[in-house]
Structure 1
Amino acid sequence: MNLIEYIELVFTDYTLRTITLGTAILGAICGMLGSFAVLRKQSLLGDAISHAALPGIAIAFLIIGTKNSSVFLLGALISGLVGTFWIRGIINKTHLKSDTALGLILSLFFGFGMLLLTYIQKKPNANQAGLESYLFGQAATLLESDVWLMAIVTAISLIILLLFWKELKLLLFDTDYTKTLGFNIKFLDILITTFIVIAIILGLQTVGVVLMSAMLLAPAAAARQWTNNLSIMVILAAIFGAASGVIGTAISASHNNLSTGPVIVLAAGVLVAFSFIFSPSRGLLFREIRFRKNRNDLQLHKTLSFMYNIAKTHEDITHPHAIKILNNFQGFTKKSLQQLEDKDFVQIKGNMWSMTESGYQNASNLYDQLLKENNE
Structure 2
Amino acid sequence: MDPGGTNTKAAKECSQQSNGEYTIKQSPVANSADASRELIVRRLAAGDKNIDIVNMDTIWTPEFAEAGWLRELKGSEQTQALDDVLDGPKASVQWKNKTYAIPLNTNVQLLWYRKDLVPTPPETWDEMIAMAKKLPAGEGNILEQGQKYEGYVVWFNNLVASAGGTIVNAEGRPTLGAPAVKAAQIIKDVATSGRSDPSLSTSQEDPSRLAFEAGKGAFLLNWPYVYAAARTDAETNPVTKKVFANMGYARWPGVNKGEPSKVSIGGANLGIPKTGQNPELATKAALCMTSAKWQAQEAINEGLPPVTNATYDDPAVRKVYPFADLLREQLKDSVVRPATPSYSDVTLAIQSSLHPPAGINPAKSINTLRDRLNILADGGMY
TM-score range, shorter chain: under 0.3
Q: Which has the larger radius of gyration?
A: 1
TM-score (norm 2): 0.21
**Larger relative contact order, structure 1 or 2 (CA cutoff 8 Å, min sep 6):** 2
Q: Say which structure is richer in helix.
A: 1
Relative to its length, the structure with more strand (as a share) is: 2
TM-score, with length taken from structure 1: 0.21
